[in-house]
A and B are shown apart, each in its own frame.
Chain A
Amino acid sequence: MIRLENINKTYFGAQPLHVLKGINLHVEEGEMVSIMGASGSGKSTLLNILGILDNYDTGDYYLNGKLVKDLSENEAADMRNRTIGFIFQSFNLIPFKTAMENVALPLYYQNVSRKKRNNLALEYLERFGLREWADHYPNELSGGQKQRVSMARALVTQPKIILADEPTGALDSKTSAEVMQILREVNQSGITMVIVTHEKGIALRTNKIIHLKDGVIENIEINNPDLIDFNTEIK
């Protein structure tokens, strides 16, 4: 599903910063992977490249068998829309749109009719137990509810892969456990999942932990999430 070959990325500022130094990584279809590392290790940059939100300097990135390189802005937007679902730490919901409208937004960019996309959005909100909150605005929702709305938004287009950037970073431990449980269920439905986190408790709930340090992959740890009790607190 994801194949990275010798990816390099440098930020050219006043002081050029070599953030990713030859990353090689394979993520198979249906895998649930976490990327761990201290801040400044390059994990966010890596996730941005995976999400085609940022470009890289050298190397090759294959997503779903296609080389992602030198895409035009529109091609990148299309690919993001159809193959990737995003979950952000700060939810990134549009504040003046209702939960339903937020969930329906990616479908708007696929030119799905209003009626159809609203119905689909309601269906996904239902799945996350938010059917009654469909007409509420983000500031009327709790953190956990907001993250569930953003998960519904990520899944509504039936993407191949979910990229989650610190999905529990803004949540308390109980809500974090709930969110992780949902993500795991999503993964079990066959969707590939990459989670960036700096919390061990989160990483332990994935199958593969990629440790990133100073722009290189330090080691890849194979993990069996079934060994931990999902009812234990994360933090």
Chain B
Amino acid sequence: MALSRNKLRTFLTGFAISWGIFILIVLLAAGNGIMNGISEEFSDQSKNTYMIFGGETSKPFKGHGINRDIWFTDKDIRFLENEAQHVDQVSPTINSNGFAYFGDKSCSVNMRGVRPVFQSISNVDLIEGRLLNERDEKQSEKVALIDDALEKHLFDNGISPIGQFIIVNGIAYKVIGVYEGDPNSSGGGALVPFSTLKKITNQSHYWMLRFTVKGLETKEDNEAYTEYLRTQLAHLHEFDPNDMSAVYIRSTQEEYLQTMKIFNTFELFIWIIGFAMLASGIVGVSNIMRITVKERTNEIGIRKALGAKSRSILASIVTESMIITTIFGYIGMWLGMVVAEVSGNILKTIQEGNSVTLNIVPSIDIRIVIMATALLIVCGVLAGFFPARNAVRIKPIEAMNYR
């Protein structure tokens, strides 16, 4: 009945509502975006991968003392390939550092001998050329897949590295492809067949073995399998199966579950902030409604003297607060969704050219948005209702003479 009477106050009331909803939506959208980015990252690694690391014994066992280093050997690789349950493909790794030369240029390089399966486990992104294949591995070919950093250091612009020979530690490798390397590492990187580097470096001890598994779905499956691995390795290397420091066993699923645990906490945090925002919006609306009704006490008194029933006054005030909260709640909801959507599109465009970073694209759950808006509207209406009820309880003559 008096929406237009005090435009500033109506605007302030509305602003409190719009702002609360707006912030909540943007916040939730950002949180959702980060969550989605994380799960996308994990969805790349669809294969469950296990890593076993050699450690140091901490318990005496069968005549062995403590502090004995455990290294993996070809025996362990054979065990995993031929005997161990659930193992799909084994991906052992040999490291060799040195300098790579091409013409008069050189660059430090971290060379890794890997089997072809490594490339799918570690999400190697090919830029040009081809990946390592089974034939390279079987025939111990002297071929190398170099990363973009190494390419940049060794090859001038316009020269394709494919088919060229680079020299590392006195051995010439034919470059077969370029992949996207880790932008954070200094120097270059190169992948060569496992069998090739094993022959060259004569390594037979590995501190880490990586392999993919099949048929392990649940957390319980993985825990049981970890126990199984430890027992088997204890048998092979003669250490106490209860010695937790002799070998370390990790799986990507375990990592995934751990990350999810962190993100559940993060989500809870976002909800707490969101609710705090919503609460401050509600407090703002309540306050302004209270003042509005107080200022209208005179008018309420006049109306009552002229024969208005309390019910009709209450109804008109509640209707008014409902109109204000609904309109401005809707505006805030709409603005929040627009900002989330637009910033999402902008981030998407930026991130498309840069696939290494996490994809954070804000997104919104429409049910939550509607629920939050509805809650705010209900609170706004209640915020108008209670002071209005108190105002109509005053005797008309007192209301008319108020202030």
Contacts and interface: CB of A to CB of B under 8 A. Distances in A.
Contact of B305 (A53, A74, A110): A53
Given A94-B299, A96-B5, A80 B397 contact: no
A86 B309 contact: no
Contacts of B4: 96
A148 interface: no
B103 interface: no
Contact of B310 (A48, A73, A78, A96): A73
A126 interface: no
Interface residues of B, number: 21
B309 A105 contact: no
B395 A53 contact: yes
Nearest to B396: A53
Nearest to A105: B306
B2 A54 contact: no
A182 to B, nearest CB: 20
B309 A74 contact: yes
A77 B304 contact: yes
Contacts of A157: 307
B400 A106 contact: no
Contacts of B167: none
A73 B307 CA distance: 10
A54 B397 contact: yes
Contacts of B310: 73-74, 77
A110 B397 contact: no
Interface in B262-315: 298-299, 301-312
Contacts of B308: 77, 109
Contacts of A211: none
A82 B307 CA distance: 8
A74 B307 CA distance: 8
B397 A106 contact: no
A106 B303 CA distance: 8
A146 B312 CA distance: 26
A153 B305 CA distance: 12
Interface in A33-78: 48, 51, 53-54, 73-74, 77-78
Interface string A82-101: 10001010001110100000
B5 A106 contact: no
A160 to B, nearest CB: 14
Given A53-B395, A54-B395, A109 B312 contact: yes
Nearest to A74: B309
Contacts of A173: none
Contacts of A207: none
Given A48-B397, A109-B308, A96 B303 contact: no
Contacts of A175: none
B395 A86 contact: no
Contacts of B302: 92-94
A96 B4 CA distance: 9
Interface in B172-201: none
Nearest to B298: A92
B309 A109 contact: yes
A49 B121 CA distance: 91
Contacts of A51: 305
Question: Chain B CB within 10 Å — which of A51, A53, A153 has the most?
Answer: A53
Contacts of A94: 299, 302-303
A105 B303 CA distance: 8
Contacts of A54: 395, 397
B389 to A, nearest CB: 12
Contacts of B400: 88, 92
Contact of A78 (B299, B307, B397): B307
Interface in A111-161: 153, 157
Contacts of B309: 73-74, 77-78, 109
A81 interface: yes
A157 B306 CA distance: 10
Nearest to B5: A96
Given A53-B395, A53-B396, A53-B397, A77 B307 contact: yes
Nearest to B397: A53
A32 B281 CA distance: 56
Contacts of A105: 303, 306
B395 A81 contact: no
Contacts of A80: 305-307
Interface string B367-403: 0000000000000000000000000000111001000
B2 to A, nearest CB: 6
Interface in B3-27: 4-5
A51 B302 CA distance: 13
A142 B299 CA distance: 20
A81 B2 contact: no
Question: Chain A CB within 10 Å — which of B298, B395, B396 has the most?
Answer: B396
B390 to A, nearest CB: 14
A153 B395 contact: no
A103 to B, nearest CB: 11
7 contacts: A51-B305, A54-B395, A74-B310, A77-B307, A88-B400, A93-B302, A109-B312
Interface of B: 2, 4-5, 298-299, 301-312, 395-397, 400
Given A54-B397, A92-B302, A92-B305, 10 more contacts: A53-B305, A53-B395, A53-B396, A73-B310, A74-B311, A77-B307, A77-B309, A94-B299, A94-B302, A110-B307
Interface of A: 48, 51, 53-54, 73-74, 77-78, 80-82, 86, 88, 92-94, 96, 105-106, 109-110, 153, 157
A-B pairs with lowest CB-CB distance, top 10:
A81-B307, A109-B307, A53-B397, A96-B5, A106-B306, A92-B302, A77-B309, A74-B309, A77-B307, A80-B307
